[in-house]
Amino acid sequence: MPRIAVVALGGNAITRSGERGTYAEQTANAEAMADAVCRIHAAGWSVVVVHGNGPQVGNLAIQQEEAAHRVPELPLFWLGAMTEGHLGCLLSLALRRAGRLPVVPVVTHTVVRADDPAFAHPTKPIGPFLDEETARWQALERGWVVGEDAGRGFRRLVPSPEPQRIVELPAIRLLAQRGCVVIAAGGGGIPVVEDEGGLRGVEAVIDKDLAAERLASDLGADLLLLVTAVPRVKLDFGRPAEREVAEMTVAEALAHAAAGQFPEGSMGPKIRAATRFVRTTGHPAVITDAAHAPYALEPGGAGTRIVAGAAIGAVS
């Protein structure tokens, strides 16, 4: 059976900084993502794609707000499901155009714990930026938690619990084994909790990279490929000593994270996902951009490779 690579694409790669998120813009960006995935598939790998949905769910939240006087607003987890569907369609069509691959998008539910501490401490910003007065009013009127986001304004903050289990895992595994390119756990998956009545959706969003790790680990994937905006991870970013990292051990990556090298709003979740995957499976994880992703599959290739054992020539 071919080796399995789980490839995590950021939502910002589909709606890029400075773009409005039009259909034409997202379609053009999806073509570049599809080309990278096709090259990985052509190299003999079975591919499972996980995509982000941050910009898209934010735009959908604005549409919900603006139309609230005409149609009822829907729960946050439904907005996640909607974007999982439309981005699954977008990527599926792009992949079929790029390589005529057998592609199956799977609407995916991710189980989280009802007692996850994240529900008491919402930290994930979603939706539009607001001035402080509007944000405070929304908090009082709607019961939202709001907070400042990177000095750019105030936004709604929602819980981001840890992914525990991918509900559709058996189907995803079977499809991947049959040679399909599977699109799954989009936006981290639709967050659900288990209770006496079965599964129910909850107001939360799940980190896409952590969901990709959970899926990759449970599949026993041979590689977790985290696609971001930069070719390699950098240490001392923005400082005179800034340098790229070609390879790190888990211990080295965790030490750099503890030293504050990888902020939560940037590289932090990717490093956490990568180190978890390597510790769980013993297989490597790679962080790179879409242009270099097809060249990051083997040792010594592009990107930053995180491995279990001693790193060689780690920092350039």
Residues assigned a catalytic role: 11-12, 124, 208, 270
Give the C-alpha distances (Å, rounded to integers) separating 252 from 226, 289, 315.
18, 21, 11
Closest CA to 284 of 250, 237, 240: 250
How far is residue 304's CA from residue 39's CA, in Å, rounded to a whole number?
19
**Helices assigned H by DSSP within the chain:** 23-42, 54-66, 76-99, 132-142, 169-177, 208-219, 250-258, 268-281
List, in order, residues 6 or more apart from 99 with CB less than 8 Å away.
Answer: 34, 38, 41, 42
Lookup result for tokens 């304004």: 153
Lookup result for tokens 């559709």: 168
Burial class of residue 69 (count of CB atoms within 10 Å of its CB; 0-12, 13-18, 19+):
exposed
Burial 25-57 (b: 16+ CB within 10 A, else e): ebeebbbebbbbbbbbbeeebbbbbbbbbbbbb
- Beta-carbon neighbour count of residue 282 at 10 Å? 10
Q: Are 135 and 155 in contact (CB under 8 A)?
A: yes
